[in-house]
Amino acid sequence: MNHTAVAEAFQSTAQRSGPRLKTLPDFGGSPQAMLEHFTAHPGLICDLDLERQPGTYARNLLWSDAGTSVWAMVWDRGARTAIHDHHCACAFGLISGNLTEIRFRAFDGIRVAKTWEAMHQPGDIASLATTHPNIHQMVNDSDRVAISLHIYGYDPRVHASSVDREYLLAPA
Ligand SMILES: [Fe+2]
């Protein structure tokens, strides 16, 4: 699918529900291919009328069906998620700005220790599978807004979010 066709697949609704995809562009069912396309053409996401929330992050649902949902996340300066894992597969690509991702290992069902940290750049793509420990946290500790695109293996009509459980950082 070319750039123009993807752009035309977006449809702005009259309500504040924001921009939505009328159909999911055909990338052969590959989240990686879809993220590669959108990170290579960041204007497709950045130019949308995305919801933003001061001091935190805003989730913009762009498309969903029974097995997949696609979200654009707008991260204000200082925004951070809880430390969490997922009940479904997830993949994301950074569209603009910088986001720090921190990964953890669990001591038990509540406490975790940090194992890895990376500053994602525009164009970076990462994924987490439910078949492996997938506890992480996303933080915008930069001085500008960041936008990321996320593809999750869940139906938002069934689950409120992709998060399975939230954790607390164990004392060092
Ligand atoms: Fe996550």
Q: CATH no. for residue 111? A: 2.60.120.10
Distance from residue 78's CA to the centre of ligand 1 (Å): 17
Spatial distance between the Cα atoms of 149 and 83, rounded to a whole number of angstroms: 19
Q: Which helix (H) or strand (E) holds 46?
A: helix 43-46
Distance from residue 160's CA to the centre of ligand 1 (Å): 14
Distance from residue 101's CA to the centre of ligand 1 (Å): 9
Distance from residue 62's CA to the centre of ligand 1 (Å): 17
pTM (predicted TM-score): 0.87
In the predicted model, is pLDDT for residue 16 greater than 50?
no
Distance from residue 91's CA to the centre of ligand 1 (Å): 9
Distance from residue 93's CA to the centre of ligand 1 (Å): 12
Domain containing residue 47: 3-169
> Residue 168: what are its φ and ψ, rounded to 5°?
-120, 140
In the predicted model, is pLDDT for residue 12 greater than 80?
no
Q: Would you tell me how many other CB atoms lie within 10 Å of the CB of residue 129? A: 13
Distance from residue 2's CA to the centre of ligand 1 (Å): 29
pLDDT of amino acid 19: 76
Q: How confident is the model at residue 11 (pLDDT cuts 50, 70, 90)?
A: very low
Place of tokens 């690509």: 93
Q: How confident is the model at residue 28 (pLDDT cuts 50, 70, 90)?
A: confident
User: What average pLDDT does this structure show over 60-75?
Assistant: 93
Q: How confident is the model at residue 6 (pLDDT cuts 50, 70, 90)?
A: low
How many domains is the chain built from? 1
User: What average pLDDT does this structure show over 74-85?
Assistant: 97
Stretch among 16-20, 36-40, 77-81, 98-102 having the lowest mean pLDDT = 16-20
